[in-house]
Amino acid sequence: MSEKAVGIDAMEIHTGTLRLDLAETYAPAKDDDPGKYTKGLGLFASSFPDVYEDIVTMGANAARRLLERRGLTPADIGRIDVATESSFDNSKPVSTYIAGCLEQVYDEDFHHANKGERKFACISGTQSLDDAYNWIRAGRNRGRKALVVATDTALYERGDPGEATQGAGAVAMLISEDPDLVELSTAQGYGSADETDFLKPNQQFPSVDGKRSVQVYLARMREALMDYESVAGDTHPDDFALVPFHTPFPGMVRKAALLGFRHVARDTEYEDRLAEEIGRQPRREAFDDVGAFQDALSEYTDALAETDVYRDWYAETVEPTLELSRYCGNWYTGSVHVARASGLLEAAEAGRDLAGARLLVGSYGSGAQAEIHHETIQPGWADSIRALAVKDRLRDRYDLSFEEYERIHDAHNHEKETDVDALTTPDGEFVFDGWGRMGERKYRYV
Ligand code: CAA
DSSP string, 295-346: HHHHHHHHHHHTSHHHHHHHHHHTHHHHHHHHHH---GGGHHHHHHHHHHHH
84-106 pLDDT, tens digit per residue, is 999 999 999 999 999 999 999 99
Is the Cβ atom of 35 under 6 angstroms away from ligand 1? Answer: yes
pLDDT in tens, 280-333: 999 999 999 999 999 999 999 999 999 999 999 999 999 999 999 999 999 999
CA of 40 to the centre of ligand 1 (A): 7
Distance 104 CA to ligand 1 centre (A): 43
Residue nearest ligand 1's atom 29 by CA: 161
Cα of 307 to ligand 1 centre, how many Å?
24
pLDDT tier for residue 2 given thresholds of 50, 70 and 90? low
CA atoms within 13 A on the CB side of 212: 11
Question: What are the residues whose beta carbons fall under 8 Å from the beta carbon of 122, sequence distance 6 or more?
Answer: 85, 246, 248, 332, 333, 335, 336, 363, 364, 365, 366
At 141, is the secondary structure helix, strand, or coil?
Answer: coil
Nearest CA to ligand 1 atom 22: 40
215 CB near ligand 1 (under 6 Å):
no
- How far is the first Cα of the chain from the last one, in angstroms, to the nearest whole number? 45
User: What per-residue confidence (pLDDT) applies to 3?
Assistant: 76
pLDDT tens digits, 45-78: 999 999 999 999 999 999 999 999 999 999 999 9
The confidence band for 232, taking pLDDT boundaries of 50, 70 and 90, is very high
With a 6 A CB cut-off, is 213 part of the ligand 1 pocket? yes
Q: What is the pLDDT of residues 266-288, one digit of tens each?
A: 999 999 999 999 999 999 999 99
398 φ/ψ angles, rounded to the nearest 5 degrees = -80, 130
Alpha carbon of 255 to ligand 1 centroid (Å): 11
Looking at the domain assignment, is residue 319 inside a domain?
Answer: yes
By annotation, the residues acting in catalysis are: 85, 122, 246
Quote the ligand 1 centre to 212 CA distance (angstroms): 11
What is the atom index within ligand 1 of the atom nearest the CA of 249?
A: 44
What is the residue with the minimal CA distance to atom 12 of ligand 1?
40
Q: Which atom of ligand 1 is nearest to the CA of 206?
A: 54
Q: How many CA atoms lie within 13 A of 217 on its CB side?
A: 28
Q: Could you give the number of structural domains in the chain?
A: 1
For the chain, what is the mean pLDDT?
97
Q: Is 15 in the pocket of ligand 1 (CB under 6 A)?
A: no
Residue 1, pLDDT > 80, answer no
| pLDDT value for 311 | 98
Kindly state whether residue 16 falls inside one of the protein's structural domains: yes
**Is the Cβ–Cβ distance between 174 and 168 less than 8 Å?**
no
Ligand 1 contact via 214 beta carbon (within 6 Å): yes
What H or E segment, with its residue span, contains residue 386?
helix 381-386
The mean pLDDT of 109-128, rounded to a whole number, is 98
Name the H helices within 149-240.
210-232
Q: Which tens digit of pLDDT belongs to each residue from 168-218?
A: 999 999 999 999 999 999 999 999 999 999 999 999 999 999 999 999 999
Per the structure, the complete domain to which residue 355 belongs is given by 6-445
Q: What is the per-residue pLDDT across 135-151, written as a single tens digit (0 to 9) for each?
A: 999 999 999 999 999 99
**Any domain includes 1:** no
Query: Does a structural domain hold residue 230?
Result: yes
Q: Does the C-beta of 40 come closer than 6 Å to ligand 1?
A: yes
CB of 248 shorter than 6 A to ligand 1 = yes
pLDDT band for 424, please (50, 70, 90 cuts).
Answer: very high
Q: How far is the CA of 161 from the centre of ligand 1 (A)?
A: 8
Residue 426 lies in a domain: yes
In whole angstroms, give the CA distance from residue 409 to residue 416. Answer: 10
Say if 158 falls within a structural domain: yes
pLDDT at 4: 86
Would you state the pLDDT for residue 428? 97
Rounded to the nearest angstrom, the distance between the alpha carbon of 46 and the centre of ligand 1 is 15
In this structure, what CATH number is given to the domain that contains residue 13? 3.40.47.10
Answer yes or no: is 366 within a domain.
yes
Determine the Cα angle at 11 with ends 248 and 2, to 5°: 110
Which of 157, 214, 221 to probe ligand 1 with, by most ligand atoms within 8 A of CB?
214
* pTM (whole model) above 0.95: yes
Q: Tell whether ligand 1 has an atom less than 6 A from the beta carbon of residue 161.
A: yes
In a domain, 55, yes or no: yes
321 lines ligand 1 (CB under 6 A): no
Cβ of residue 156 lying under 6 Å from some atom of ligand 1:
no
